[in-house]
A and B are shown apart, each in its own frame.
Chain A
Amino acid sequence: MAVDDRKVGVFMFLPAVAYIALLIGVPLLLAVLYAFSDARIGTMGFHFVGLENFRSILQSPSFRAALRNSVVFTISAQIIVIVASSILSIALEPAFHGRWFVRLLILLPWVAPISLGAIGWKWILDSIYSVITWVLVWAHIFKPYGAPMWLGEPTLAMASVVLVHSWRLIPFSTVIMLAGRTSIPKEIPEAAAIDGAGFWRTEFLINIPMMMPIISVAVLFGTIFTFTDMTVVYILTAGGPFDSTQVLPSLAFATGIQGSDLAAGAAISLFLVPVLILIAYFMLRAAHRAEVA
């Protein structure tokens, strides 16, 4: 019986293993292989070149900018997402008329295809047709033609990319936070109220610490989604102006696919792996802690 169970178990497990091996394992192996070679699109030649690709990308100013931008992009987007989704989860927790509708509205950016959303934002932030600019001019905050170019100036472009990506991630994070908040027994904040704690004390000393395992899951997921994402950057700015919004995934794509230097692209994307492994480790640990608690 035990042996049979084992066989069945292996059999049931196989599709998932095959799926992961084919769609994730093979490309990952290829990337490792390419990163140590001189593979290029359009040639069949293939030589191992050792760490040459890594040496060369480390010297490239584009790569350093992308690395810096990736860090800035990820951290600032996470801070915005966590603060905003905390506030939203507090607002959406108590029952009120039309709560389900508001929750649905807030979830929309997450269910809409990211490319559509990003294209929408591209128009909203467009240098000529921007509705934001139009409103600001109409309100006499800027003179016509004197308004900032949202995607055309390095700092503003980075801010725009961060905000659009946050807009995209907030619903996901809010749902996780709401779940965390709902899982706190009702008596706990009530006990805190009776013990004399006001709103802030209850939030910071009771609710948020109790939600910590869940918040860390949200942060780690968000970090991975942000660190590995290039859609928003690619659609809004394509990494410009002057690489000021270039992040590692978009640079890897630009170098490896568009620039046909597969080897360099693979090396750039492999650069992410150690960071992601570290994050994944913490993520699993946090998830485990959340389970145990």
Chain B
Amino acid sequence: MAVVQIRNLTKVFKAGTPGAVNNINLETKEGEFLVLLGPSGSGKTTLLRMIAGLEAPTSGEILIGGNVVNNLTPRERGIAMVFQSYALYPHLSVRENIAFPLKAQKVPKEQHKQKVEWAAGLLGIEKLLDRKPRQLSGGERQRVALARAIVREPRVFLLDEPLSNLDAKLRTSAREELDEFHQRIKTTTIYVTHDQVEAMALGDRIVVLHQGEVRQIGTPQEVYDDPADTFVATFLGSPPMNLLETDDVIVGFRPERFLPAGLIAPWAPMDEVAKTLKHENLLPADLLGPGQRIPLRLFVEHSEYLGSERVLYGKLSETRFREKPVCARVSSSVLETYTPNTTYDFAVPEHELKFFDAKSGKRIPPRPFPWQ
């Protein structure tokens, strides 16, 4: 196990063009599951490939276990990688695939059988050992790729979108398995994905990348609840954070915090609510008290019923942001129906508002906001 440190890492593919990775600094913790999250073209895969030694950095340093590894070949870095396509050797059986790293690293032959069986057992693929990759399902291939990576007990695990080739249902179970797998082996893992759900579910910390730069590093909760800038705010969350812009400040709030004004909102102090109400889910808007919520009127244009929730798309009426499209997510346990082209009373808790500088997009401390 080892810590990976990245210092001022830059990769420019073609001189004169913007770098794929620009001056990135980050450091994993021992045994951590670190997720690199970003849209395509954000440089996350390039960063991972540089750590693996498949791509040479233009400048900067990569340290694994405290040693600079820039000039080491992939095999000397003590890393293992799972590729998006799994890159199983199609002409070799599962057993031979898993044994390949042992063979290549000249592990004595007597140990191969035992190690292959250990790795296969860890992933529950003992029964597949004599099959060829083409006879396996997507999920099985992914497990073989993991087994091949784990078999020589690497110091660092690198995973490049290993779930993206699986169908939605399988992806959820594979995600759980991956999490459990990491809990068991506790190897430092760097995981690349563009899927925020995966990132939130798996990551101890998430590194949000955009255009080759780190926008934020933090726990899933930190990047979601305290986005460092408007990019992070809109990249995480679906639908993304509502942003209202004035000349010098942008205010944002999450759709799921933008609720019917009459609802018991999560921001209401619970003991006070309990005192007032017995069972109802609904609470008169004025019970919340002044200064705790911002009442806004939502003109609903259309709504989507998604089973667990309703997503309402519309515009804020009666404010200076009249033409600004916003959206709200209301739990489907709220039985009220929303008719299109009707205006409803909504509200957002004041402390849920995030403020950003209009020019840089960076987060700034809360300040008065001109709603009207």
Contacts and interface: CB of A to CB of B under 8 A. Distances in A.
Contacts of B91: 209-210, 212
A106 B74 CA distance: 33
A210 B91 CA distance: 6
A195 B100 contact: yes
| Nearest 4 CB-CB pairings of A with B | A187-B87, A196-B104, A191-B87, A196-B75
B51 to A, nearest CB: 11
Contacts of A197: 75, 100, 104
10 contacts: A185-B87, A190-B74, A191-B87, A193-B73, A194-B53, A195-B80, A196-B75, A197-B100, A198-B104, A206-B89
A193 B79 CA distance: 11
Nearest to B75: A196
Interface string B300-312: 0000000000000
B81 A210 contact: no
Nearest to B89: A206
B120 interface: no
Interface of A: 185, 187-188, 190-198, 201, 205-206, 209-210, 212, 293
Contact of A191 (B73, B83, B103, B152): B83
A177 to B, nearest CB: 17
A197 B152 CA distance: 13
Given A185-B87, A188-B89, A194 B100 contact: no
B85 A187 contact: yes
Contacts of A188: 87, 89
A210 B133 CA distance: 13
B295 interface: no
Given A188-B89, A209-B91, A293-B90, A193 B83 contact: no
A212 B87 CA distance: 18
A205 B101 CA distance: 12
Contact of B80 (A194, A205, A210): A194
A194 B75 contact: yes
B74 A194 contact: yes
B148 interface: yes
A185 B85 CA distance: 9
Most A-side CB within 10 Å, residue of B84, B103, B152? B103
B54 interface: yes
